[in-house]
Structure 1
Amino acid sequence: MAKAETNDQRTERKNQSAIEPIAMRVPEACRYLGIGRSTLYVLINEGEIEIIKLGSSTLVLAESLRSLVERRRNPADPHTADDRY
């Protein structure tokens, strides 16, 4: 007969299995950012997003995606922001 798990044990096990990837394939990266495949490849070609190749697979680095969002969220030049407010 199997031992019954407590809620704390189930939560701990679930947290242990939720490992965040360091890289993802192109379709997952598109879903992560909410953009299309062609837009992702434009950003890659412009050097905005870093990739690695493993065999024939293109893997997009998760840190590179987070970095892109932060750069676009906090522009370096505050004078380029819209001053209507």
Structure 2
Amino acid sequence: MSIAAVDTAPPTEAADQAAVLLTVEEAARCLRIGRTTCYTLIRTGELESLTIGGLRRVPADAPAAYLARRRAERHAA
């Protein structure tokens, strides 16, 4: 699977609307990981996120950026 193939749009959103921010659950679904693991990645700074009001949101391009960094680290080792 290429990084570009990661689906960052929530399944409930219409195809003509691109999501700018994802919930933590949506980001976890994109990465095919659990919600707790996603929060751990956020807490350690590996996955970019921001707080808006009291809500934690993940930029739509952050899951793909995380995967790109992981792949680059793996190839560099």
* Structure 1 and Structure 2 fold alike (TM over 0.5): yes
Counterpart in the other structure of 2:9 = none
Which letter maps to 2:36?
S
Q: Distance in 2 between matches of 1:21 and 1:48?
A: 21
Where does the alignment leave 5 or more consecutive residues of structure 2 unmatched? 1-14
Counterpart in the other structure of 1:9 = none
Residue in structure 2 matching 1:25, options 17, 23, 39: 23
Counterpart in the other structure of 2:12 = none
SS in 1 for 2:56: strand
How many equivalent pairs are there?
64
Q: Between the two proteins, what is the percent identity of the paired residues?
A: 33
Where does the alignment leave 5 or more consecutive residues of structure 1 unmatched? 1-16, 81-85
Q: Distance in 2 between matches of 1:76 and 1:26?
A: 25
| TM-score, normalised relative to structure 1 | 0.63
What is the aligned-residue RMSD (CA, Å)? 2.0
**Highest relative contact order (Cα 8 Å, sep 6+), 1 or 2?**
2
Residue in structure 2 matching 1:57, options 41, 55, 58: 55
Q: Distance in 2 between matches of 1:76 and 1:36?
A: 22
> Which protein has the larger Cα radius of gyration, Structure 1 or Structure 2?
1
Q: How far does the alpha carbon of each residue in 1:23-56 deviate from its partner, in whole angstroms, 9 at most, with x for none?
A: 1111111111100011111111111111111122
| TM-score, normalised relative to structure 2 | 0.69
SS in 1 for 2:73: coil
After TM superposition, give the deviation of residue 19 of structure 1 in Å.
2.5
